[in-house]
Structure 1
Amino acid sequence: MNPDRRARALSSLRGSAVGDAFGACFDDVINHGALRSRTLLPGPWLWTDDTQMACSIFAVLNAHGRIDQEVLARSFAEHYDIYRRYGPGTSRILRLMRQKGYHWGELARQARGGRGSWGNGAAMRVAPLGAWFADDLDRVVEEATASAVVTHTHPDAVAGAVAVAVAAALSSAQPHVRGVELLDAVAARTPRGSVRSKIREARFVSDSSTAAAELGVGHETSALDTVPFCLWVVANHGHDFADSCWTAASAGGDSDTTCAIIGGIVGAGPGIDVVPPDWLTRCEPLPEWATATIPLL
């Protein structure tokens, strides 16, 4: 095991968990006053399926040093927890795998009438993978693709996962790359298609309100209407973990997922205090099964 890779990925995973749990606080309209005043809610902040699945990504890398799709699928199914608010498509896949023994490949291809899911689920969990392979962007693309198709086979979903993973890798290994330069660098590694085109459109957006309106904030829970906005926030606010998450949550939409993606990318950056300590103490801790050094079989 490469200790540097593990440390980078664990930092990203913690950032993703904190972002996820923070964003989930604002799904309830009762908390919107705190959102407007940027007042932190008391803990514990509980994370969602975004973190539950990111934990499996980290655990598989920690045990195998690469994405073993069979092991990853088993981990997703084994740790499926209905109370973590999974999307209906992924929930169906994991329930059928665990209860009926169906193979992930068959189930993933069935989504959306055989087109495969274009949801943001593959993107929301992948940032630790980008941090893990930050020294090899070609490998980031390859492994992110492998991790995505276990549940999301549509090209948009795969492209969204690749884009987030590349952004996390750049945050970790090239933190000086920001703004338009970051968006261009991510787009250059993202597969051709709608997601890459929208990331390139993001470079011309100047404020968060316009970004939310033109790029989308996950109302459709698709990669296309989630990932470009997250990358815009990172490009423009990524020097500050708290400001990034507040900006995303204030835009509304699928805020636990947008903040999880942003938190995972920013959390991959160098420095021991990337995530504010008072945010970490409020967040539900990561599960022991995810961070243990015992091999995942």
Structure 2
Amino acid sequence: MSFTLFPGTRLALARESLAGLSVGDALGAQYFVPANRPADLLEGRVPEAPWPWTDDTEQACCLVATLADGDFDRDGFADLLGGVFDPGRGYGPGAVVMLREISNGLPWPIAAAAAFDGQGSCGNGAAMRAAPLGAWHADSLVHAAAQGARAAEVTHAHPEGIAGGVAVTVAAAVAAAARLNGHKPEPGQLLLAVAAHTPASLVRDGVVEAAGFTGGVAEAAHRLGNGSRATAQDTVPFALWVAARYLHDYPAAVAACVVSGGDVDTTAAIAGGVVAAHTGLDGIPPAWLAAREPLPAWTAGPGRD
């Protein structure tokens, strides 16, 4: 990387990524309502506002509120997650149990390690919130990967869950760096950069496969997974393939996730957060931003306006 980021710039990049993540999440979630037809989005028609966001955005807001210089503050992040989480936002049963334990004082390393009978979670939760952290670390993919792992470990002790968080963090860092450098990477180039910094895992294998895939959206979802299993390995490769393919086109990226079915709020959140790290707020349709439920005031974090 050939630039240095100051704290204000880092935070601005992270907030823009959060905007893309949250709009993708909120819009994607509308297609769990049978009356809303995914095909309409391809023609520019969106569901009626407002669009409530889900646990994807709530966790990402906690992450952004925790960001500061130095290593990612895992204890502060865990405390905030446990303090504000709303089970009605669509958290899975395992996450609800874990976050209740954390809010009741159980240290996060114990809560995360105990999940799923001691296997730890390989779910897509760490990945769906990770893009703003990558935008914050746009000047170093090495740091992005290391901090992505730290942030993931708060709730995901399984290697696949951690790898998913790392992959999305690195993808957002590449996307934001490309914006600052004025250079758009080819889709395969972006994905191979992600794979190079992702731990050995099924997630990394999927990202490598995605890097060489040149077919259409429907086939990509079939081959790479559309999040139907809610695991990192079934979610992250496809969401990042979409982001890499539509890096300059936020609406097209979100639409590709929506029409592919599966865990559409999460794939749209991941792709939306990565793409917005590259396009900034200008890439997100203003009407979509206005339709999204406002983010909580505490997202800004202490001492920030």
TM range (shorter): over 0.9
Q: Aligned with 1:18: secondary structure?
A: helix
State the shift of 1:30 in Å.
Answer: 1.7
Whether 1:189 and 2:197 are equivalent positions in the alignment is yes
Alpha-carbon separation, structure 2, partners of 1:71 and 1:148: 14
Tell me, which stretches of 5 or more residues in structure 1 are unaligned? none
CA contact (8 A) 2:18 2:61 kept: yes
CA contact (8 A) 2:246 2:275 kept: no
Instruction: Tell me which residue corresponds to 2:58.
Output: 52
State the shift of 1:178 in Å.
Answer: 2.8
Q: Deviations over 1:128-186 (max 9, x none)?
A: 00000110111111111010011001111111111101110111012411311111111
**1:253/1:285 CA distance change after superposition, 3 Å:** same
Alpha-carbon separation, structure 1, partners of 2:159 and 2:130: 16
Whether 1:236 and 2:236 are equivalent positions in the alignment is no
**1:85/1:135 CA distance change after superposition, 3 Å:** same
Deviates more, 1:88-97 or 1:246-255: 88-97
Alpha-carbon separation, structure 2, partners of 1:94 and 1:70: 13
State the shift of 1:87 in Å.
Answer: 1.4
State the shift of 1:107 in Å.
Answer: 1.1
CA contact (8 A) 2:122 2:159 kept: yes
Alpha-carbon separation, structure 1, partners of 2:42 and 2:249: 18
> Which segments of structure 1 move beyond 3 Å, counting only runs of 4 or more?
33-38
Whether 1:107 and 2:116 are equivalent positions in the alignment is no
**1:92/1:179 CA distance change after superposition, 3 Å:** same
TM, length-normalised to structure 2: 0.92
Matches within 5 A, 1:96-135: 96-98=101-103, 100-135=104-139
Q: Aligned with 1:135: secondary structure?
A: coil
CA contact (8 A) 2:127 2:164 kept: yes
Alpha-carbon separation, structure 2, partners of 1:199 and 1:47: 27
TM, length-normalised to structure 1: 0.95
State the shift of 1:269 in Å.
Answer: 1.2
One-letter amino acid matched to 2:168 = V
Q: Deviations over 1:27-70 (max 9, x none)?
A: 122212634644111211110000000011101105x5541111
One-letter amino acid matched to 1:55 = C
State the shift of 1:89 in Å.
Answer: 1.3
Instruction: Tell me which residue corresponds to 2:298.
Output: 289
Tell me, which stretches of 5 or more residues in structure 2 are unaligned? 1-5
CA contact (8 A) 1:245 1:262 kept: yes
Matches within 5 A, 1:210-249: 210-249=219-258
Q: Matched residues, percent identical? A: 43
CA contact (8 A) 1:108 1:153 kept: yes
State the shift of 1:238 in Å.
Answer: 2.0
Alpha-carbon separation, structure 1, partners of 2:42 and 2:9: 38
Q: Match for 2:85 among 69, 80, 87?
A: 80
Q: Aligned with 1:286: secondary structure?
A: coil
State the shift of 1:204 in Å.
Answer: 3.1
Alpha-carbon separation, structure 2, partners of 1:94 and 1:34: 37
Instruction: Tell me which residue corresponds to 1:198.
Output: 206
Whether 1:42 and 2:44 are equivalent positions in the alignment is no
Alpha-carbon separation, structure 1, partners of 2:95 and 2:225: 21
Alpha-carbon separation, structure 1, partners of 2:153 and 2:191: 24
**1:258/1:272 CA distance change after superposition, 3 Å:** closer
One-letter amino acid matched to 2:145 = V
Instruction: Tell me which residue corresponds to 1:155.
Output: 159
User: Cα RMSD (Å) of the superposition?
Assistant: 1.5
Q: Aligned with 2:32: secondary structure?
A: coil
Alpha-carbon separation, structure 2, partners of 1:160 and 1:55: 18
CA contact (8 A) 1:130 1:166 kept: yes
Alpha-carbon separation, structure 2, partners of 1:36 and 1:199: 26
Q: Deviations over 1:55-96 (max 9, x none)?
A: 11101105x554111111000001111111111111111112
One-letter amino acid matched to 2:192 = D
Instruction: Tell me which residue corresponds to 2:3.
Output: none
Whether 1:6 and 2:15 are equivalent positions in the alignment is no
Alpha-carbon separation, structure 1, partners of 2:76 and 2:261: 35
